[in-house]
Structure formats: structure tokens, C-alpha cells
């Protein structure tokens, strides 16, 4: 096999080092020429037409509470009802209101007129130090119609008891059943007697509620 002849002028391996040096020298020369011919660049500060704006950041101090809120008010003590003889099992369904009977004017809470230190006998209270105490109860006459129909009932009154313990006013609040027992109950309750209510050991005139019951087990006079 004949050997391949190569021209040494075109041998890449032998010429590689020379070609690299020439290329590097040419590149450096071009970069130097560009650097020498480049113009100087001046950087100026840009100013806005509206002027220069400055933003400052400040630390806001913590707010101290100088005013102490008032303490909550104490709950009010409930006032007990005037009449404790009303059964606890009475509901609205058991009550028949007399819509035709006008309710009396209660006036200012606690007293209807005047001052507690006055002497007028027409002053009527709704609060007191000592409650009135029933000392005489007259049993109402049982109506004949209710006896025949075997009916029981109850009439609730708003009464006024004067300084001597007499019932001087009786207004029907409700009647169960209505239209049967009211008159008999009124005749009886007007004869009731109380130990009068007191404020600072002085007898007073009071307004209160009082029920009159009609039960078949109670003997009528």
C-alpha cells in the first residue's frame, strides 16, 4: 500500500499554533483601535420639570391611652311584685281581658300624686316598706247560673286599699270565664279588710292586684 503524501504547507496540526497567535494578535489590535477611536460618554443627572421630590420615613410613636373607660354599672335589683297570691301556673290562655273597662291612670311610678312627705289622703302608692296584709276575707256568693252549669272561675281586680285598710276601689282586670262572676266578686272584695301598707312606719294608701276565686269546694255564704 503506497504511503499518502502530504504537503507540509497545508498540514493543520503543524500550522495550528501559528494561526492561533496571528488571530489573537489581530483581535487585540482591533480592540485597541476601537477603544482609541471611541468618544467619551458623559452621564448627566436628569432633573424633572416638576422639581425634585423627597420622601421621608418617620417612626410613629405608640399611642398611650390617657383616659380610662368608666367601670360598668352594677345591675339593678329587681323589685318583687305587689301580689304574691297569683298562681304560678296561670298563663295568657287562662286570662280573659275586659276590653270595655278602662284602666286607671297609674301616674308617676311609685306614687300617683304629691310628695311622700305630704298629708293628702288621695295619694296612692305602688311601692312601700311594709306590704298590706289581708286580715278579713269575705267569701263571695256563688252565682246560681254557675252552680247549675257546674262552672268554676277567677276574677282579677286592681284594688286601692286606704290608710285604714279598707278597699275603696276595685276594677276588674280579667275574668275567667267572663260575664259570670264579676258582680259577686266585686261585692265580696269591697268588704275585705287589710292591715295597711306602710312607708317609714306611716300607713299609706296603695294600689295592688287581688284575685277572687270561685271553687265548687268552697262554701258560699
Angstrom CA distances, 198 to 124, 127, 205, stand at: 12, 9, 9
CATH number of 92-214: 3.30.2420.10
Predicted pLDDT of residue 153:
93
For the chain, the structural domain boundaries read: 92-214
- The maximal CA–CA distance of the chain, rounded, in angstroms, is 164
Distance (Å, whole) CA 212 – CA 92 = 18
Q: Which of 8-17, 43-52, 196-205 has the highest mean pLDDT?
A: 196-205
Distance (Å, whole) CA 87 – CA 154 = 11
Q: What is the mean pLDDT of residues 174-193?
A: 94
Distance (Å, whole) CA 34 – CA 14 = 32
Cβ atoms of 164 and 197 within 8 Å: the answer is no
Distance (Å, whole) CA 20 – CA 86 = 123
pLDDT tens per residue, range 115-168: 344 444 578 999 999 999 999 999 999 999 888 889 999 999 999 999 999 999
Question: Residue 194 contacts by C-beta under 8 Å, 6 or more apart in sequence?
Answer: 132, 133, 134, 135, 161, 165, 166, 167
Percentage of the chain with pLDDT > 70? Answer: 61
Cβ atoms of 186 and 172 within 8 Å: the answer is yes
pLDDT tens per residue, range 59-100: 777 777 667 777 777 666 555 545 555 454 544 444 444 444
Name beta bridge partners: 193.
136, 166
Phi, psi of 5, rounded to the nearest 5 degrees: -95, 135
Cβ atoms of 205 and 160 within 8 Å: the answer is yes
Predicted pLDDT of residue 113:
37
Predicted pLDDT of residue 54:
72
Query: For 114-124, b where at least 16 C-beta lie within 10 A, e where not — what string?
Result: eeeeeeeeebb
pLDDT tens per residue, range 68-77: 777 777 666 5
Predicted pLDDT of residue 140:
93
Of residues 56, 203, 62, the one with CA closest to residue 129: 203
Predicted pLDDT of residue 217:
64
* N residues, the chain: 221
Predicted pLDDT of residue 93:
46
Of residues 127, 110, 136, the one with CA closest to residue 193: 136
pLDDT tens per residue, range 18-59: 778 888 888 888 988 887 887 666 666 666 666 667 777 877
Cβ atoms of 135 and 195 within 8 Å: the answer is yes
Confidence tier at 102 by pLDDT (50, 70, 90): very low
Amino acid at each position: 500500500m503506497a504511503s499518502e503524501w502530504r504537503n507540509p504547507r497545508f498540514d493543520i496540526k503543524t500550522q495550528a499554533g501559528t494561526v492561533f497567535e496571528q488571530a489573537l494578535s489581530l483581535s487585540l489590535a482591533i480592540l485597541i483601535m476601537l477603544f482609541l477611536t471611541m468618544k467619551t460618554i458623559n452621564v448627566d443627572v436628569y432633573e424633572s420639570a416638576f422639581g425634585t421630590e423627597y420622601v421621608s420615613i418617620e417612626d410613629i410613636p405608640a399611642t398611650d391611652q390617657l383616659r380610662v373607660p368608666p367601670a360598668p354599672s352594677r345591675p339593678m335589683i329587681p323589685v318583687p311584685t305587689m301580689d304574691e297570691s297569683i298562681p304560678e301556673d296561670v298563663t295568657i290562655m287562662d286570662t280573659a281581658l275586659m276590653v270595655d273597662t278602662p284602666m286607671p291612670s297609674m301616674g308617676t311610678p311609685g306614687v300617683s300624686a304629691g310628695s311622700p312627705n305630704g298629708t293628702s289622703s288621695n295619694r296612692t302608692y305602688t311601692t312601700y316598706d311594709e306590704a298590706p296584709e289581708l286580715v278579713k276575707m269575705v267569701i263571695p256568693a256563688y252565682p246560681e247560673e254557675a252552680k247549675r252549669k257546674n262552672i268554676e272561675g277567677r276574677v282579677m281586680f286592681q284594688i286601692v286599699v286606704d290608710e285604714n285598710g279598707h278597699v275603696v276601689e276595685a276594677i276588674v282586670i280579667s275574668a275567667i270565664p267572663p260575664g259570670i262572676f264579676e258582680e259577686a266578686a266585686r261585692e265580696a272584695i269591697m268588704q275585705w279588710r287589710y292591715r295597711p301598707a306602710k312607708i317609714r312606719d306611716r300607713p299609706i294608701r296603695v294600689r295592688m292586684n287581688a284575685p277572687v276565686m270561685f271553687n265548687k269546694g268552697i262554701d258560699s255564704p
